[in-house]
Structure 1
Amino acid sequence: MERAEEIAMFRTALRIADLHPDPITLPDDHQVIVGSMRFHYLDWGGIGTPILFLHGGGLTAHTWDCVAVMLRDRFRCVALDQRGHGDSEWSPTIDYRIAAHVGDIEGFIDSMRLERPILVGQSMGGLNSIAYATRHSDAMRAMVIVDVAPEISTSGAERIRDFAGTPELDSPDAFLDRATRFNPLRDPAVLRRSLHYNLRETPAGKWVFKHDQRRRSDDAMRAFTEDRTRLADHVSKISCATLVVRGALSDVLTDDSAEMFARSLPNGRLARVEKSGHNVQGDNPRAFLDAMLSFFRDAGIN
């Protein structure tokens, strides 16, 4: 796709979200080696406190585009394709446990020299952020956790797992049809743009999601669930200011679980974003930005 067409698609997504950055720009694509793996990330530039955005399972760094473009004039915004996702390398040992992700984040932050970063993570990225903060919250400015907690709804997570496990289909339009039925909150034009960054064509001419489906095996998911539930024993170590964001229509994080998680944090608060499901940053980016900026102001972050 030509750059001009990418910008046109982005302009449409921003208009639908009622967001009006000036100028409308796309991030720079970069690669970096962390440990023995290659990672792709989006660098929006900007100055000020660095924000590292971490996407959910089955998504890519581009899920944060509408948010990052609105923050780049005040913050240094970087979004990472985590292992096995987007244009980053797949784990050769099929290691997708939270500890492996945390090691990647540690190496990436060191490599990028992100001093006292804010971590913003959704779903899988949120759990990885929580785990990172249990070790490093004293070196973090703040954290935003989007629609996830150590305790989540199994049925909602299974629904997402089923969608993310979509087998190969004949065309991007076939994926768009399936995605529209999966998330009717989202405008099809926005979903089409998201799929542009999250699909690849196979040598046989079929289309598949870019993420490594091996990470969704029963054994891998069982191990990931064990890691998630163990996090509850360590959240009291997180000292940095933390905002827990729940999508009001989410079937993954309940109000009770979100409130309990926010209360368990030494410096936590809760925000509920209307007209959004699990992918808050995509369903209602404007309200999500409002919640984040209010949190930043209260925390004294410029």
Structure 2
Amino acid sequence: MIQRGDTEIAVTDRGGDGPPVVLLHGLAGSSRELLPTADALTDRFRVLLIDQRGHGRSTRRPADVSRSAYVGDVIAVIEQLLPGQRVRLIGQSMGAHTAFLTAAARPDLIDRLVMLEGHVAGDDEPEGPANIGRYFASWPVPFADEAAARSFLGDRPLTDAWVNDLEVAPDGLRPRFDPDIMQAAIAAVQEDRWTEWENLTVPTLAVFAEHGMFTAEQKDELIRRRPDTRRADLPAASHDAHLDAFDGWIGILRRYLSEKFA
């Protein structure tokens, strides 16, 4: 655990030899869903995974869910656990947003950046965060058992990640996050961050899924505004491509992380 004020940040060191890699999950997820990604990299890299504040084994109800707080957590992990090293930083969805802002704030700490299904433009749906909060608040928790959770959450790859991460409580199974914290956390992502993006100096790979969250125009704009950005696309994949297009994702990731940069 890394202590930052009143907030504990849980870190999993998956081991491995080689340059350090740090992985960041998305909203309402945890490092657990990225363990297969981590384990696919430990033959070449030392891999650490972070439970972002409000998620997983980190403090469930942090007082601060600003973007700067999330960025500060990542910086603290790197400086305390990987002192003097530059890391390959990888994030999915909101984790990609955190990773990008970390690279923008502290390029001296980041060797290269990978954003899976992430973007830097704000959401033009003002009710988006509230809708997300209402969805998580609609979960009939506690779930009596895993079968009840799967029945409610449906049959999709993300269901496995959510079910596997449920916490055993005296009254049943509960998620490791609270709806209001998720709503507040994602609301902070609403602001456009084009200035930081256009001034970013860290080598970057943007990975998009064919059936992901972003339109063709949104994907193109990200590259147009920063032409040095590399882009890769995963066919037949969803927003959670690390789960439903795993082999393609790992292939792209291993190639990029192993490239030599001048």
TM-score, structure 2 as length reference: 0.87
Structure 1 CA distance, aligned partners of 2:205 and 2:129? Answer: 21
Question: 171, 175, 178: which is aligned to 2:152?
Answer: 178
CA displacement at 1:216 relative to structure 2:
3.4
Structure 1 CA distance, aligned partners of 2:32 and 2:257? Answer: 22
Structure 2 CA distance, aligned partners of 1:259 and 1:191? Answer: 30
Specify the alignment match of 1:56 in structure 2. 26
What are the residue-to-residue correspondences of 1:144-163 with 2, within 5 Å? 144-151=114-121, 154=125, 163=135
Specify the alignment match of 2:228 in structure 1. 267
Structure 2 CA distance, aligned partners of 1:209 and 1:161? Answer: 14
Question: 241, 245, 250: which is aligned to 2:203?
Answer: 241
- Is 2:9 the counterpart of 1:43? no
Instruction: Work out whether residues 67 and 281 of structure 1, in 8 Å CA contact, stay in contact via their aligned partners in 2.
Output: yes
Q: What is the SS of the residue equivalent to 1:267? A: coil
Q: Which amino acid aligns with 1:199?
A: L
Structure 2 CA distance, aligned partners of 1:206 and 1:53? Answer: 30
TM-score, structure 1 as length reference: 0.76
Of Structure 1 and Structure 2, the greater helix share is in 1
Which stretch shifts more, 162-171 or 285-294?
A: 162-171
Structure 2 CA distance, aligned partners of 1:97 and 1:54? Answer: 16
Q: What is the SS of the residue equivalent to 1:145? A: strand
Specify the alignment match of 2:243 in structure 1. 282
Question: 162, 171, 176: which is aligned to 1:210?
Answer: 176
Instruction: Work out whether residues 97 and 223 of structure 1, in 8 Å CA contact, stay in contact via their aligned partners in 2.
Output: no
CA displacement at 1:289 relative to structure 2:
1.0
- Is 2:8 the counterpart of 1:34? no
Q: Which amino acid aligns with 1:278?
A: H
- List alignment gaps of at least 5 residues for structure 2: none
Structure 1 CA distance, aligned partners of 2:245 and 2:30? Answer: 17
- Is 2:89 the counterpart of 1:128? no
Distance 1:92 1:58, change over 3 A: closer
Structure 1 CA distance, aligned partners of 2:200 and 2:108? Answer: 8
Instruction: Output one character per residue of 1:37-82: Cα deviation in whole Å (capped at 9) or x when no partner.
Output: 2222221111211110000010010111111111101011011111
Instruction: Work out whether residues 55 and 125 of structure 1, in 8 Å CA contact, stay in contact via their aligned partners in 2.
Output: yes
Provide the aligned length of Structure 1 versus Structure 2: 256
Specify the alignment match of 1:99 in structure 2. 68
Distance 1:235 1:269, change over 3 A: same
CA displacement at 1:32 relative to structure 2:
2.9
Instruction: Work out whether residues 120 and 197 of structure 2, in 8 Å CA contact, stay in contact via their aligned partners in 1.
Output: no
Instruction: Work out whether residues 153 and 254 of structure 1, in 8 Å CA contact, stay in contact via their aligned partners in 2.
Output: no
Instruction: Work out whether residues 25 and 95 of structure 2, in 8 Å CA contact, stay in contact via their aligned partners in 1.
Output: yes
Structure 2 CA distance, aligned partners of 1:122 and 1:161? Answer: 20
- Is 2:185 the counterpart of 1:224? no
Instruction: Work out whether residues 240 and 267 of structure 1, in 8 Å CA contact, stay in contact via their aligned partners in 2.
Output: no
Question: 140, 146, 167: which is aligned to 1:200?
Answer: 167
Instruction: Work out whether residues 7 and 62 of structure 2, in 8 Å CA contact, stay in contact via their aligned partners in 1.
Output: no
CA displacement at 1:161 relative to structure 2:
5.6
CA displacement at 1:222 relative to structure 2:
7.5
Q: Which amino acid aligns with 2:174?
A: V
Instruction: Work out whether residues 2 and 76 of structure 2, in 8 Å CA contact, stay in contact via their aligned partners in 1.
Output: no
CA displacement at 1:163 relative to structure 2:
4.9
Instruction: Output one character per residue of 1:189-209: Cα deviation in whole Å (capped at 9) or x when no partner.
Output: x844x3454212333x13221
Q: What is the SS of the residue equivalent to 2:236? A: coil
Percent identity, aligned pairs only, is 23
Say what the alpha-carbon RMSD is for the aligned residues. Answer: 2.5
Distance 1:40 1:138, change over 3 A: closer
Structure 1 CA distance, aligned partners of 2:254 and 2:62? Answer: 39
Instruction: Work out whether residues 129 and 187 of structure 2, in 8 Å CA contact, stay in contact via their aligned partners in 1.
Output: no
Q: What is the SS of the residue equivalent to 1:257? A: helix
Instruction: Work out whether residues 88 and 111 of structure 2, in 8 Å CA contact, stay in contact via their aligned partners in 1.
Output: yes
